Amino acid sequence: MPVAKAEPENRGVGIYLDQDFLVPVSNEDRDYTMGFAAEFFWGKAKGLYPLDNLVAMAGKWLGIDDKDNNLVYSFMLGTVAFTPDNLSDTAAIYDDRPYASLIYLSNKRVRADYKNAVAAEVRLGVLGTRFTEYWQTRFHTTYRSLADDDEPVDPLGWSHQISDGGELTMLLRLTNSRLKQGLSSPGDYDVATTWGASLGYQTNLHVGAAFRAGSIKSPFWSLPYDPVNRGSFLPKRSKNEWYFWAAFRAHAVIYDVLLQGQFRDSDVTYAADEIERFVYDAATGLTLGFDDSQLTFSTNAKSADLKAMDRNQIWGSVNYIYHF
């Protein structure tokens, strides 16, 4: 695969926020209720890379060689949280998704040019801490005070979360993305496809597609679609561009610790025949690129994770990237 050398200025930091509160017309504070991550990326491994040897081994399956001059590395610190619909119940809820939280460190390697991108990522995380409970409660309390309202209520069921008390977990993700239509240099539109596999706390196979239209100067693989959870995303410096975008993914779910539990006993878990085996997510957004930064606003949706849940999930995202 022909590749171009990674540009030395492709380094910086990204701040990513997912919140259902960002879509006020449908804010229901349930399911995937919050995600936050800070990603640091360089042309060389600098920073927190305790998992890089595992990433290097996994990357060889995709043809990523340590001697490649076009590799870009990133490490990311993040957290995600999931809740049932009823936050005011202190008892375990057995007919809705369980409370679940994860704090993680991600190490990633990406090799990319304007037509192809391959990525290997390893995450090490901790399930079942009270970090999310604390911040979700603080956020709800602050909002009620500012809005002079009695909602949103404080979440009272976090003691029933998956692996409550803490449990280590890991994830390996491999992805391959390719430009299918559009120009391999800056242009007005492009279409790309992605396939990938994850093994660990979320074990699945996925395929997807993405479309961009506007004044595009960045490569297709820099599309900021779900950076808190997605493995093939990599920021790229792009001066004075703008584009609208839409993306879609389909997942074949094999195992999901955030629903089915891991090794530690959890109050609420679901059996294999109770989870949806095919799950879909999509998003649409606007990305604005400036001299040294990029700003993205998007609305995201996902189909139900459980057969007993006849509802979709909707949340908003705000992502900011600064290059230095």
- DSSP-based three-state secondary structure for 310: coil
Q: Evaluate whether 239 touches 209 at the Cβ level (below 8 Å).
A: no
Are 19 and 32 in contact, with CB atoms under 8 Å apart? no
Per-residue model confidence as pLDDT tens digits over 137-152 = 888 888 888 888 887 8
CATH number assigned to the domain covering 12-323? 2.40.128.140
Of 247, 4, 23, whose CA–CA distance to 113 is shortest?
4
pLDDT in tens, 238-295: 778 999 999 999 999 999 999 999 999 999 999 999 999 999 999 999 999 998 899 9
- CA–CA separation, 224 vs 318, rounded Å? 10
Domain boundaries, given as residue ranges, for the chain: 12-323
More confident residue, 140 or 166: 166
Instruction: Name the pTM for this structure.
Output: 0.91
pLDDT at 2: 43
> pLDDT value at position 5?
43
Picking from 91-105, 148-162, 177-191, which range would have the lowest pLDDT averaged per residue?
177-191
How high is the pLDDT of residue 140?
A: 86
Alpha-helix runs per DSSP H in 34-127: 52-59
Cis geometry, peptide bond prior to residue 152 (ω within 30 degrees of 0): yes
Question: Degrees (nearest 5) of the Cα angle 127, 20, 250?
Answer: 70
